[in-house]
Amino acid sequence: MMKTVLIYYPFSLVAERNSGSKLRPYEMHQAFLRWGAKEGVDVLLIAGTSAEREKQFQELRSQGKLDDVWFCYMENQTIPFWLTDPGHRPQRPFVDRDVLRYLKGRNVPIGVFYRDVYWKFPDLYPLRGWKKAAMQMMYRWEERFYERYCDVIFLPSLEMGTYVAIRRPMVDLPPGGKQKPFQRFGTAKQPLNAIYVGGINNADYGLLLLLEAIRLANRRKPLVSLTVVCRKDEYERQPLAVKEELAALQVRVEHVSGEALDRLYAEMDFAFIPRRRSEYNDFSVPVKLVDYLSSGLPIVATACSAQKRLIEADGYGVICDDNPSSMAEAIAKMADMLEECRLRIARTFMAKHSWEARVEKVKETLVGGLR
């Protein structure tokens, strides 16, 4: 008899996947479908508005398709799941409880990917006053909900577990990688081509740190040529002094995404994650980390704990302190280690860190780890 797995998303999947919170549920669902086709497992999905979820649940239940579910994988959103309907007004506020109570009554192992705890950091959470207090109360209710109904809490990193008040086993499940159609081959030549993709409108992102490191690294001879990919509006809002520094260092600035970005990756030798260390950055895992590695690019990154652990575990790059001199030294070290890092990425990254590998980890955790 074919096994059945349920994916439960208390939100709607969207066509425009321009952030990690929108990309991840889609990629995990697609990876589950590929895994299910290969392993002979029927993968069911309940997602959408609360009214749509209730309808799907009742239909699957009446058809007997939920009688013997092997395990259930769930994800939350960046807002409490009761508020994911249009206008943040729940049409069916009890449907999530009904679904998980039904599964728990049938001893189905349930794991939820708990996405973020930014609401616990006053500097990051924008709401103020009574709205903030009300939302934080709802977030705490959500934590209690998962403690009651879920067996395992999946997190972007183990480091985030310190901030999650859910008394359940916690397992890291970082973003996954995808094989890119364009890869760079051949021996790199100096000056090396390096890329930074991300935000430039916040000091924590580390653009100024990166620019000063490039200046130091190229002081004696041109060692690295930098390309920065960012949103056009963020670039246009930069102070004149920053634009002049970009020009003085001959930094190439692009505003591309999708296939155009993949083609740009294929021109590069390595990539940067220059984030400043902070309590939050120490446990967050940037999606661009796996994006770079999916394109075969070694990484020079600051020593934020979670990204440091992932990069160092398999020798995928060079770690530095969040200051220009340390990053300049890391650039010089990368020039010597580049081919070695590229080889390690080619040999192990997709096997260990693809979206399919993430699905396997979910299965092993919920089925192998609990039974």
User: Is 183 inside a domain boundary?
Assistant: no
Domain match, 148 and 36 both: yes
User: Is 182 inside a domain boundary?
Assistant: no
Q: What is the CATH number of the domain that holds 25?
A: 3.40.50.2000
The total number of residues written for the chain in this structure: 371
Domain match, 152 and 242 both: no
What DSSP designation does 338 have? Answer: H
Tokens of 180: 């890119």
> What range defines the domain where residue 25 resides?
3-176+354-368
User: Is 92 inside a domain boundary?
Assistant: yes
User: Is 35 inside a domain boundary?
Assistant: yes
Domain match, 200 and 59 both: no
User: Is 204 inside a domain boundary?
Assistant: yes
Instruction: Report, as an integer, the average pLDDT of 81-101.
Output: 93
pLDDT per position as a tens digit, 213-247: 999 999 999 999 999 999 999 999 999 999 999 99
Instruction: Report, as an integer, the average pLDDT of 83-109.
Output: 94
Tell me how far apart the alpha carbons of residues 28 and 357 are, in angstroms, rounded to a whole number. 10
Cβ–Cβ < 8 Å for 339, 315? no
Instruction: Select from 64, 47, 62 the least CA-distant residue to 8.
Output: 47
User: Is 134 inside a domain boundary?
Assistant: yes
Instruction: Report, as an integer, the average pLDDT of 347-369.
Output: 95
User: Is 328 inside a domain boundary?
Assistant: yes
What DSSP designation does 367 have? Answer: I
Domain match, 139 and 246 both: no
Domain match, 296 and 257 both: yes
Domain match, 22 and 132 both: yes
Answer yes or no: is pLDDT of 71 > 90.
yes
pLDDT per position as a tens digit, 298-338: 999 999 999 999 999 999 999 999 999 999 999 999 999 99
Three-class secondary structure assignment of 72-118: EEEECCCCCHHHCCHHHCCCCCCHHHHHHHHHHHCCCCEEEECCCCH
Instruction: Select from 48, 150, 59, 61 the least CA-distant residue to 92.
Output: 48
Domain match, 146 and 257 both: no
User: Is 83 inside a domain boundary?
Assistant: yes
pLDDT interval class at 371 (50, 70, 90): very low
Question: For the whole model, what pTM was predicted?
Answer: 0.92
Number of domains in the chain: 2
- What letter represents residue 203's amino acid? A
Phi, psi of 301 (to 5 degrees): -135, 150
Instruction: Report, as an integer, the average pLDDT of 125-154.
Output: 93
Domain match, 200 and 114 both: no
